[in-house]
Amino acid sequence: MKQTIRSRKREACEREALRKRVKYFYRRLNRSDWEDCFALIDPQLTRTGKVKVDVYSRLMESFKTAYGSVNPRWTRLSLHLQVAKNQRDSRPFAYVYVIWQDAAHGYHLFRERWIKENGQWYTRVVALVPNRSEK
């Protein structure tokens, strides 16, 4: 019983921390603060050079030009705090689903994977690219 209560409390705390982090990311995106957005990318991706700040900034600016501000309307979090041993990545992770509205009042869906490293949540999304077929 105590373990269940503890795990529920832990999950609630993790859920709140992740929700705050996701909101922070979209506030930074709407302010075109690409360096702060870049700092929220999984450190394993940035340390290995798989994502470069200049390329990331250019792609994000292109996305922002195409859609304007991202106005999140609904967010759902699916936490996976107990990771199986046979996973390639043993870190806790979450799927984040965001229904958002663009500057032209169109609705869209982001499906993102976030991971937890050293007590912080980081996104695995390395850039946002406009859907050219939509325009």
Domains and CATH numbers, the chain: 2-123 (3.10.450.50)
115 - beta bridge partners?
93, 122
pLDDT digits (tens, 9 = 90+) for 60-93: 999 999 999 999 999 999 999 987 776 788 899 9
pTM for this model (two decimals): 0.89
pLDDT tens digit sequence for 33-54: 999 999 999 999 999 999 999 9
From 2-6, 11-15, 103-107, the region with the lowest mean pLDDT: 2-6
Q: Tokens 């470069």, residue?
A: 52
Are residues 91 and 74 in contact, defined by beta-carbon separation less than 8 angstroms? no
CA distance linking residue 79 with residue 83, whole number of Å? 10
